[in-house]
Structures are given as structure tokens and as C-alpha cells.
């Protein structure tokens, strides 16, 4: 498995582990719209901290195990996979922004919109890393 495929898997894992529980909690116990909602801010901060910790630890392990691979720049196939994954994720993000900024204000407000925006970003990131992982697995 190439270094960049490992990074794609790591990024996907970090996103799922950090934001899976976040959205599970938000869905089961929706936050009230009081601003600032410290419980909600704290929950978001924990999710981001978990994601950063997983990414830092994963990158450190990869760099220690295969330092030569980590130093190698992305080759043309890596860049082609990145272009494809970012392009598809961009479409996902745009759809999410339309939903959050244009449609949601008609029936929701406060934290529902904030979490909708976070969900759109997380979903776009999941799509980006997911497409990269599939492309690397298929060798394309």
C-alpha cells in the first residue's frame, strides 16, 4: 500500500471516528438554540481534537515506519486521484451549501443550521477520502 493510500485511509478513519459520535449525539439529543451553547461548542471541540490527534499519530507512525515513502512527492497517478476525489467532493459540498444556506433557513435555525453546515463539510471530506481510497484499491 502506497504512503498516500495509507494517508487516505487514515483521513477517512479519523473523520468517521471523530464525527460519527458527534452526529450520533447531535441526532439523538439535538442542542437547544441558546447561543452560545457551551455543551455543543465543547462537543465540537472534542470531535476536532480527536480528529487532529488521530491524524498526527497516524502520520507520525507512517513517517517512522517508511520515512522514504513519506518524503516522496505525489506522482502523476496520486495527483490524478486527488483531482478526481476533490472534484466529486466539491459537488457534494455545493449541494450541502445549497441545502444549508438556501433551504434550511425556511424551516430551521440556530444550531440546526450550524450542524447542517458541519455535516456538509464532513460529508464532502468523507466523499473525497472515500473516492481516493476506492481509486487506490482499484489501482486506477
Partner 1 sequence: MRAGTISNRVRLLRFQHGEMTQAELGKRIGVTRQTVAAIEAGKYSPSLEAAFRIAAVFHVPLDEVFQWQAEPGD
The closest of 134, 137, 125 to 11, measured between CA atoms, is 125
Q: Is 140 in the site for partner 1 (CB under 8 A)?
A: yes
Pick the stretch among 50-58, 76-84, 106-114, 117-125 that binds partner 1 (CB under 8 A): 76-84
Q: Are 2 and 61 in contact (CB under 8 A)?
A: no
Q: Give the 3-state secondary structure of residue 83.
A: helix
Q: How far is the CB of 128 from partner 1 (least distance, A)?
A: 20
Binding mask 54-73 for partner 1 (x = CB under 8 A): ---------------x--x-
Q: Are 124 and 132 in contact (CB under 8 A)?
A: no
Q: Which of 20, 52, 65, 75 binds partner 1 (CB under 8 A)?
A: 75
Amino acid at each position: 500500500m502506497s504512503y498516500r493510500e495509507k494517508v487516505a485511509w487514515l483521513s477517512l478513519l479519523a473523520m468517521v471516528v471523530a464525527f460519527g459520535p458527534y452526529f450520533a449525539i447531535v441526532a439523538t439529543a439535538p442542542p437547544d438554540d441558546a447561543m452560545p451553547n457551551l455543551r455543543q461548542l465543547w462537543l465540537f471541540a472534542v470531535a476536532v481534537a480527536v480528529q487532529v490527534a488521530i491524524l498526527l499519530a497516524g502520520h507520525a507512525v507512517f513517517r517512522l515506519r517508511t520515512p522514504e515513502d513519506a518524503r516522496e512527492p505525489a506522482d502523476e497517478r496520486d495527483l490524478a486521484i486527488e483531482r478526481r476525489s476533490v472534484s466529486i467532493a466539491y459537488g457534494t459540498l455545493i449541494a450541502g451549501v445549497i441545502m444549508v444556506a438556501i433551504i434550511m433557513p425556511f424551516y430551521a435555525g440556530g444550531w440546526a443550521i450550524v450542524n447542517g453546515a458541519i455535516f456538509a463539510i464532513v460529508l464532502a471530506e468523507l466523499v473525497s477520502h472515500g473516492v481516493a481510497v476506492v481509486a487506490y484499491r482499484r489501482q486506477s
